[in-house]
Structure 1
């Protein structure tokens, strides 16, 4: 058999590639698999630490309503809203946001103050939202290294294969780690920025709005923009029928599971 014939036989032996929509829904399922336990953990810590730990995640269900702040004259000039993020009715974060407009300059000022579970003002809580993507990447690494299939991929009949050994079960740990590092590379700056802001404001005095330099705001905006552009680029690659960058770098491919096992 000629080399061309061998290449053609190898190509036809592979299962069909996983398409854009199938991979997207698998990713959404995996996100929920990680998000729900993480929400539950943060909800427990929020109650156990009297509001000292909170969590703001990418998918937030936030409810806000008008509120008043009593007992602190310096805060009377603000218009307040009380906000809450909860999972199954259990809060993971509670805070109040006040806005005030300077009558001379017309500039708007905003203050955000954390609350404890009883609705009292408290020092700023530690926001664990930056752990969300780190936990998701770790979960995918472990699942793909052991079986090549996360919960979402199992549900959508997808398998991550080593490009040079599609009969093997799972990925080598080096390939699995490389795949996740590149997949989440665009989100690393926003994770680091979130961690920095979380520890910067932790336990700051209630009533004082934290101030940040212009450079800090520029860095935060650039990190957020990269975190949005990176997955869009990956999605476009898949939609156009190409292997995304993390599969190209790790020498892996996502295929349909066409046989039982």
Structure 2
């Protein structure tokens, strides 16, 4: 947004732009808020379903240790590690990874099997890790509609304004919705890919990954690459002192809270 075409007095009243670092840190805080809330939700579902629902989330600690697995001759072909993903001591995923002891291929054959609360193998659990971005978008939509500020924006003292009515507290639904759709547009491919993989494998029996299994992940890698371009472009636009595409399309602007009362 530029201040051309509005009265000089109104232009002088506009607070300063939020700036790259304020907006970046605010976004990071908001992501942590949503991630922790989602973590407790999945941790509860993981316990209630005996491992039938899990969540692989970014930034979560994953600990793996060697283990012995008792079973038929087929299980003895692998060297096993038991892995756990948790936070605050509450697990959100338990699984075992086996690597073939003897293989003729350059890349060892591997198999990953989910575990229940007793450490026994179970059919593949539903991975809710793909909900991170949708949950963040819904959270920001509701917070910006209510007050124009999320937890992160409050901490960094910035506000999302309606550029046609900057004294309004909060955004209209259509502007808040449009802003989040455009902001997260670049992440749609990776979210849809993760959701597709989660539901495709849910309840299936684990199997060894063939030597050409990497071909199955090419679409996912392409989606991840595309999803990285969008936020980088938005970040560069903000760093150059311009309004990013989601603010231009929605008719909003992010400013400091100097005169917002």
Change in CA separation of 1:74 and 1:162 when aligned onto 2, cut-off 3 Å: same
* Structure 2 contact 110–209 (Cα < 8 Å) conserved: no
Partner of 1:106: 106
Paired residue secondary structure (1:166): coil
Partner of 1:71: 71
Deviation (angstroms), 1:95 = 0.5
Deviation (angstroms), 1:227 = 1.9
Output the CA distance in 2 between the equivalents of 1:232 and 1:240.
Answer: 12
Paired residue secondary structure (1:76): helix
Deviation (angstroms), 1:130 = 0.8
TM-score, normalised on structure 2?
A: 0.92
Q: Does 1:194 align with 2:194?
A: yes
Partner of 2:251: 251
Change in CA separation of 1:118 and 1:4 when aligned onto 2, cut-off 3 Å: closer
* Structure 1 contact 81–97 (Cα < 8 Å) conserved: yes
Paired residue secondary structure (1:238): helix
* Structure 2 contact 183–245 (Cα < 8 Å) conserved: yes
Output the CA distance in 2 between the equivalents of 1:106 and 1:150.
Answer: 50
Output the CA distance in 1 between the equivalents of 2:190 and 2:242.
Answer: 27
Corresponding residue pairs, total? 258
Output the CA distance in 2 between the equivalents of 1:253 and 1:5.
Answer: 16
Change in CA separation of 1:203 and 1:176 when aligned onto 2, cut-off 3 Å: same
- For structure 1, list consecutive stretches of 5 or more residues without a partner in the other structure: none
Partner of 2:170: 170
Deviation (angstroms), 1:100 = 2.3
Output the CA distance in 2 between the equivalents of 1:253 and 1:69.
Answer: 57
Q: Does 1:132 align with 2:132?
A: yes
Partner of 1:48: 48
Partner of 2:159: 159
* Structure 1 contact 201–210 (Cα < 8 Å) conserved: no
* Structure 2 contact 45–53 (Cα < 8 Å) conserved: yes
* Structure 2 contact 141–177 (Cα < 8 Å) conserved: yes
- For structure 2, list consecutive stretches of 5 or more residues without a partner in the other structure: none
Output the CA distance in 1 between the equivalents of 2:5 and 2:115.
Answer: 69
